Structure 1
Amino acid sequence: MMLSEEMLAIAEENLQAHLEIVKEDEEIKSLIKPMQIWITSASVPICYHLIPLLASGEVFGMTTEISIHLLDTEQFKEMLCSIVMEAEDMAFPLLRSISEHTKTDQAFIDADIVIVLDDVLLNLEVQSLENYIREVSEICQVYAPLIEKNAKSGVKVISSGKTFANLKATMLRMYGTSIRPENIIAISTSWESAAKAMLARKLNMNTAGVKDVIVWGNITGSNYIDLSHAKLYGYDCAIRGPPNFQRPLLNMIYDSEWIHSELVSAQSTLSSRVSRGRGMLPAHAVATVLRYWYHGSPSEEIISVGILSEGQFCIPEGIIFSMPVRLQNGNWEAMTELEINETTQKVLGRLAHELVQEKLVALKEINEMHPYEAE
């Protein structure tokens, strides 16, 4: 039995000990710097869908706090403020802070990640494609030096959006020479996911069971969906196996006419659907690639990402080109061991030509894009 006075004294000691522990935890927490994420053109729908994915903990882990910085022009300040307030109201445990910015000269301070969403609204009846390309180049000439000056030395730069995803990444590399080339990528996972869904509907199966579809080339321009390595998991057919049992996709689509003709026309429909999307799909694509970049992509699975060409697959060097990669330990590696047939190799030459032409126009080395001439 214990006297009331003794119990009160012990309770007081316990309270003081608890308060000291809480204070110590807060001091330690204040020393931990959250990951700084900057998003440009933050008024676009992609950003609105991306914020909850980043703040949920699924991308960087449940112990990594983040601070999000939304950058856009002064005309979108009110919209940015609304997004900030809504994100704060959601009280994400890992979101240390979120803020809006309209002064470009203060952009990218201490950035760990920069997500470039800037688009130019294409209307070829108003001005030529070349003028839009030069407009993209001008945007990158502003961003690249600021990233070099203000961001952390190991900053990761991601290009996404509906237009010129590859070109933006290429120009940021050209104008930001001190940014590590391997840290600038373009997101092609939206196309990859949409193509898998199209194939799953054709096969009447779950989209998640379609793997290793490759997107080659210009993500928001001319690209090629390669099914030569695609596999199906959990497909309802005569042969059954364990969960890791897979079947080659081309062996399961018996309608060869659909593969050789309708798939091409279906790609134009796919392009239209991707470009008209409300932002959920590209936001998911950005979050997925970021998660793979920091924690590794699934073992033995092919992921398509726009990366700097160093001559892989006979693609010209110096352009950002979507190709198959694996991501491990914070790095990507082109899957050069994959066999590429002659037909695909010819297509890659045409796709590379378009990206080289875009780069030359952006650098003002040529005035007009020249059509591709097959050898």
Structure 2
Amino acid sequence: MEYVQGYYGYFSDMQTDIMIKIAKENFCTSINEQQDEMSMRKNQMKQMSIWISGALNTACSILIPILISGEIFGENQLINLNLLDNEGSMSLLNGLQMEVEDMACPLLYKVSVHNSLRKPFMDADIIIILDDIAPDENQPIEDSYKSIINLYQNIGVRIDTFAKSGVRVIVAGDHVLNLKIHNLLQGAISIDRNNIIALSTQLEGETKALLARKLKVNTQDVKSVIVWGNIGRTTYIDLHRARVHRYENAVWCPADFSHSVMEVINDSEWIETEFQEAVHSHRTTLQQMAIRPIGLSLANAIYKVLQYWYFDSPPGEILSLGVISKGEFNIPAGLIFSMPVRFCGGKWVIQTDIEISKKTQRKLQYIVQELKMEESIDFSPITEMDMGNSLSSVAEHLPESIGEIVQEEDNAKEE
């Protein structure tokens, strides 16, 4: 018989092969216990159900690693991820599911994919809508908008039916977001209307980048730009409150000091005309270029909004979002409008302390009329609509752009 010396000078008469077998069994038992403990801990952790509609949008692929990394919701929050692309390719969705699972993220509880609206948004805590449906330029505007209205009312009904009552909904994209949310709310009648927002933060970021290039600073050095209005159609970029940090001039200033963007540029005519046109032409160019589908700025904007929504805005920082008005800035109550907000205690708060000029107020009222015009389309079937009150005829009485308002005011003064 072979004797084996153990630790600390102890001896055993147990055979070597038996001891090796016992050691292997102990090792396997230890591993199993650790796995059981991790599984038990995982089951005890609260799960958050996130739904992304329009999951084949490339911005989704950038957003997923952020959502399941713990960076936004913390390292103890499990994520139940649901990827929906209505009528999308199941082969592409299955491929996306496999890639997400291959990440082996410890906070990912489960990932599922869907390509129909049979039972979407089940138990959703967060819904991110990336379905960016654009009006068809080859159709009459009433017909084109009607298809968008029907889809978003349908989505709203399903959110109302299947999602949790406290669900938070972010609608993103480049086209008529205010109209989409207005009709989504018609279907989601039991959901808190303050929990459904439109993303104008992306346009705000693009605007800051344009200003940063002109002022020769980094984009993050430009603060408090406000995007007012109808996201994806008519917006007004307001720089009256905007500040620029680390701007180099003849006078040395500390790092936390900032200048007024309006005073630095010192060209109000350029700001009200060429700059406004440059912002919108920049967006059109991005939409036409291959770089737009990458979705980097869109994913970053969603990340920023979610982070602020759950953990509050940084001190002094405002951002622009399409939210439901309660009458602020003389914007009719119930209208979806892009306005300056801050997040506090899990809720957005419109920054009513911001003063706006009479000229800005008139521009906002132009956009109000445009939004009312868009909303009027959903009250009766197109075939029976009184064309005297249709979008086309109302549009004839509106200026073609906000810029024409300034010209009309100048002409009135001359008369």
* Superposition TM-score, scaled by structure 1 size: 0.91
C-alpha offsets along residues 259-280 of structure 1, whole Å, 9 cap, x if unaligned? Answer: 2332132123123135342222
Using the TM superposition, give the Cα deviation of residue 70 of structure 1 relative to its aligned residue in structure 2, in angstroms.
1.2
CA deviation after TM superposition for structure 1 residue 306, in Å: 0.6
1:169-248 counterparts in 2 under 5 A?
A: 169-248=181-260
Name whichever of 257-266 and 148-157 sits farther off: 257-266
Task: Tell me: CA distance 1:250–1:180, structure 2 relative to 1, closer, same or farther (3 Å).
Answer: same
Q: CA deviation at 1:321?
A: 0.6
Name the count of aligned residue pairs.
Answer: 373
1:20 positional shift:
4.5
Report the Cα offset of residue 190 of structure 1.
0.8
1:132 matched to 2:132: no
Partner of 2:98: 85
From the superposition, tell whether residues 244 and 216 of structure 1 become closer, same or farther in structure 2 (CA, over 3 Å): same
- Given that 1:191 and 1:274 are in contact with CA atoms closer than 8 Å, whether structure 2 keeps it comes out as no
Tell me: CA distance 1:153–1:337, structure 2 relative to 1, closer, same or farther (3 Å). same
Partner of 1:46: 59
> What SS does the aligned partner of 2:374 have?
helix
Residue 345 of structure 1 pairs with residue 352 of structure 2? no
Contact 1:209 1:232 in 2 (8 A): yes
Q: Decide which of 97, 109, 115 is 2:110's aligned counterpart.
A: 97
SS in 2 for 1:332: strand
Residues in 2 aligned to 1:180 and 1:270: alpha-carbon distance in whole angstroms: 35
170-179 vs 54-63, greater mean Cα deviation: 54-63
Whether 1:263 and 2:275 are equivalent positions in the alignment is yes
Aligned to 1:335: 351
Q: Does 2:156 align with 1:149?
A: no
Q: 1:152 to 1:4 in 2, by over 3 A?
A: farther
- Structure-1 residue corresponding to 2:3: none
Q: Is the 1:74–1:102 contact (alpha carbons within 8 Å) kept by the matching residues of 2? A: yes
Superposed CA deviations along residues 203-234 of structure 1, whole A, max 9, x for unmatched, are: 11111100000000011110000000000112
State the match for 2:300 in structure 1. 284
Which of 20, 28, 31 does residue 44 from structure 2 map onto? 31
Q: 1:25 to 1:83 in 2, by over 3 A?
A: closer
| 256-265 vs 347-356, which moves further | 256-265
Distance 1:178 1:255 in 2: 48
Distance 2:246 2:77 in 1: 34
Q: Which amino acid is the alignment partner of residue 341 of structure 1? A: S
Offset of 1:16 from its aligned partner?
6.5
Query: Retained in 2: the 8 A contact 1:190–1:274?
Result: no
Quick check: 1:137–1:363 contact (8 Å CA) kept in 2? no
Q: CA deviation at 1:177?
A: 1.0
Alpha carbons 1:53, 1:59 under 8 Å: kept:
yes
Matched, 1:317 2:333: yes
- Does the Cα contact within 8 Å between 1:158 and 1:169 map onto a contact in 2? no
Higher relative contact order (CA 8 A, sep 6+): 1
| 2:210–2:279 Cα contact (<8 Å) kept | no
TM-score by length of 2: 0.83
Cα pair 2:208 2:219 within 8 Å, conserved: yes
- Which range moves more in the overlay, 108-117 or 73-82? 73-82
Question: Which whole-Å CA distance do the structure 1 matches of 2:152 and 2:28 have between them?
Answer: 56
How far, CA to CA, are the matches of 1:325 and 1:2 in structure 2? 73
Residue in structure 2 matching 1:166, options 178, 183, 189:
178
1:11–1:123 CA distance, 2 compared to 1 (3 A):
closer
Kept after mapping to 2: 8 A contact 1:296/1:328: yes
Q: 1:243 to 1:93 in 2, by over 3 A?
A: farther
**Counterpart selection for 1:108 from 118, 121, 125:** 121
Is there any run of 5+ residues in structure 1 with no aligned partner, and where? Answer: none
Give secondary structure in 2 for the equivalent of 1:104: coil
Other-structure match for 1:358:
374
**Change in CA separation of 1:167 and 1:73 when aligned onto 2, cut-off 3 Å:** same
Mapped contact 1:309–1:320 kept (Cα < 8 A): yes
Q: Structure 1 stretch 322-331 or stretch 254-263: which is displaced more?
A: 254-263
CA shift, 1:132, in A, is: 2.0
Of 12-21 and 34-43, deviating more is 12-21
What is the match of residue 10 of structure 2? Answer: 3
Aligned 8 A contact 1:53 1:284 in 2: no
Q: Which runs of 4+ in 1 moved over 6 A?
A: 8-18
Selected match of 2:317 from 279, 282, 301: 301
Partner of 1:59: 72
For the pair shown, the structure with the greater C-alpha radius of gyration is 2
Q: 2:285 aligns to what?
A: 273
Amino acid at match of 1:242: P
Deviation at 1:109, TM superposition (A): 0.6
